[in-house]
Amino acid sequence: MDLLFYFNGNLEKIAEKHKLDLNSIKIIKINDKDLSNHRKIINDISSSNFGKVYFCCIENDLQRFHYFMKMYILLTRHTSGGIIDESGVQDEFSAIKFIFIETPMFIFENLAAFFILIYYYMKLPIIKKFSIKQKKYRLS
């Protein structure tokens, strides 16, 4: 038996594209808030011996929770599953890819965003100060 976390989208269309039998899959409807409740998700996955764990959504490219969805699969020690969408795209879970490729990319993206925030936090007062000085010396 497989487990399907239904995030959003048309469930019948997803099942048709990925050739899933909805009668042999346990389906749990979740939303953004449920994804942030890690104990609930991990307990749902660990509650039974599921063959594969899937998270389904409308569009894989638009999801911002990929990293966390795969982290839940890794934390529960499942080796198969992934993220599927309505258009038939499947992002398979691989523990090695997750640990050695996606985790460093996630860390790098967060560090880059942090440095950009720091840069503009320091630059913004200078821009404001410069723009005020220009207005002072303007002749009418």
Say whether pLDDT at 139 is over 60: no
Say whether pLDDT at 91 is over 80: yes
Give dist(CA 42, CA 26) in Å, integer.
Answer: 15
Q: Is residue 104 part of a domain?
A: no
Q: Is residue 135 part of a domain?
A: no
Between 71 and 64, whose confidence is greater? Answer: 71
Cα dist. 6→23, 31, 87, 106 in Å? 15, 8, 15, 24
Q: Which amino acid is at 103?
A: T
Residue 30 structural domain: 2-93
- What does the mean pLDDT of the chain come to? 88
Q: Is residue 110 part of a domain?
A: no
Q: Side-chain half-sphere of 100: how many Cα atoms within 13 Å?
A: 4
Domain tally, the chain = 1
CATH of residue 88:
3.40.50
Q: Is residue 39 part of a domain?
A: yes
Please, are residues 24 and 47 in contact by the beta-carbon 8 Å criterion?
no
